[in-house]
Structure 1
């Protein structure tokens, strides 16, 4: 229970501190939008690192050196927990925006920081708005900011994954960026498995080899979703065994 209380107290403090920071970031963005994105990225990743520490998460990271640091990429990950973003976001290179469910846009405190960092809100019930979100992500990547998506469309705790939505990969196809498969293991044991309490746990995040759609035959590109899902599934299987043994 103490970890839950500490995280809630920190979030309250961060909310209070955010009020003047919003103004500072707005002023910075008036003169240099990219500088605002970078400073917001630093502020939020620092806050998330503190949450990771307060939650007692032992983070094991594999393959991070495979991610290019000089270009925007499309991170594609399985989705198990609210703590997926908490643990993954500080590991991304440069500025990165997430595709999140539309409901998060209703929370002013979260919404403003997400907008500062080029995050997109997806309405899963509206096909037209979903297409608009994908187009915004393509423009974001072309502008030099990476994007992270969860192609399952919702959280699926455990070893099984829902089928990846192929439309999500249009971001890489149309922008020409590399795809980085990401396997996240055991985040559900931090919170979802024993709501409302936070439990100290080991979380494994593995980055796979970059995938270049432009180097693939057209026929293979049509099924890139299932291919990436297979890669992530293989990493999850290996890391689940490693996590049990540890």
Structure 2
């Protein structure tokens, strides 16, 4: 069965995915240029993500959508198992949001331009001033119920285990006194690990946990929210992936 799936990937699924990726990027760029980035910056990407999972025969399950309210801005934080985290969250979270993503994505042909036009936030860690600019842009995005999604590990894992969390997302939530919503991603690592070359069929599960409301303002609230988010996210991943493993390129 694996061999047949690999043949299907190469001959059918991947060519289709390349075409719909290009079309989605072009539609996003045109829509954001001529219309509303709030709409065109989200919905084409949501459909694109669902189509990718569909054509790769990946089943998705979502738990906890009832935990988040409509027209409310949140800071969503998730573990970063692999590339398919993007499709899982974009396609199935069910909320209009902006990504906080590595600035290197801007260099990807068409996709980088689409992300820029959509208003996604490129994280530049080259210096304190650049980090502050990133935070300021994130703050301006959190309007009209739009949220942000952050991978606080900053990089995909190598083993399926979580690395340590950086405080940027939690500092942003503290500054704006927004609730942090932990998201647990399960199954993405089994589909395509960071060092993998072939996509494997595996179910993905997205668990949307209860929002963590601010319990004050300042460094203690940041640290407490970070720690609670970490524990909450880890609680819904399989036992074989529990326990922190330091990721060598998180910095």
Shorter-chain TM-score tier: 0.7 to 0.9
In structure 1, what is the equivalent of residue 20 of structure 2?
Answer: 14
Task: Give the conservation status (yes or no) of the 8 Å contact 1:141–1:177.
Answer: no
Give the 3 Å change call, closer, same or farther, for CA 5–116 of structure 1 in structure 2.
Answer: farther
In structure 2, what is the equivalent of residue 116 of structure 1?
Answer: 117
The question of 1:23 aligning with 2:66 is answered no
> What are the equivalent positions in structure 2 for 1:175-186 lying under 5 Å apart?
175-186=176-187
Q: What's the CA shift for 1:40?
A: 3.2
SS of the residue 1:235 aligns to: coil
In 2, Cα distance between equivalents of 1:128 and 1:5: 47
Gaps of 5+ in 1: 29-34, 242-246
In 2, Cα distance between equivalents of 1:207 and 1:7: 29
State which drifts further: 101-110 or 13-22. Answer: 13-22
> What are the equivalent positions in structure 2 for 1:144-159 lying under 5 Å apart?
144-159=145-160
> What are the superposed Cα offsets for residues 171-225 of structure 1, whole Å, 9 maximum, x if unpaired?
2112222211001012011122773221211111111111111x44767414121
Q: What's the CA shift for 1:164?
A: 0.8
Give the 3 Å change call, closer, same or farther, for CA 27–217 of structure 1 in structure 2.
Answer: closer
In structure 2, what is the equivalent of residue 88 of structure 1?
Answer: 89
In 1, Cα distance between equivalents of 2:240 and 2:69: 23
In structure 1, what is the equivalent of residue 127 of structure 2?
Answer: 126
In 2, Cα distance between equivalents of 1:89 and 1:18: 13
Question: TM-score scaled by structure 2?
Answer: 0.83
In 2, Cα distance between equivalents of 1:128 and 1:152: 21
Give the 3 Å change call, closer, same or farther, for CA 140–239 of structure 1 in structure 2.
Answer: farther
In structure 2, what is the equivalent of residue 31 of structure 1?
Answer: none
Q: What's the CA shift for 1:105?
A: 0.8
SS of the residue 2:211 aligns to: coil
SS of the residue 2:130 aligns to: helix
In structure 1, what is the equivalent of residue 203 of structure 2?
Answer: 202
> What are the equivalent positions in structure 2 for 1:134-145 lying under 5 Å apart?
134-142=135-143, 144-145=145-146
SS of the residue 1:236 aligns to: coil
SS of the residue 2:235 aligns to: helix
In 1, Cα distance between equivalents of 2:141 and 2:241: 34
Q: What's the CA shift for 1:159?
A: 4.6
Gaps of 5+ in 2: 1-5, 243-251
SS of the residue 2:119 aligns to: coil
In structure 2, what is the equivalent of residue 225 of structure 1?
Answer: 226
Runs of 4+ residues over 6 Å off in structure 1: 238-241
Structure richer in helix, relative to its length: 1
In 1, Cα distance between equivalents of 2:57 and 2:25: 28
Q: What's the CA shift for 1:107?
A: 1.1
Aligned length: 234
Q: What's the CA shift for 1:92?
A: 2.8
In structure 2, what is the equivalent of residue 47 of structure 1?
Answer: 48
Give the 3 Å change call, closer, same or farther, for CA 133–97 of structure 1 in structure 2.
Answer: same
Task: Give the conservation status (yes or no) of the 8 Å contact 1:77–1:183.
Answer: yes
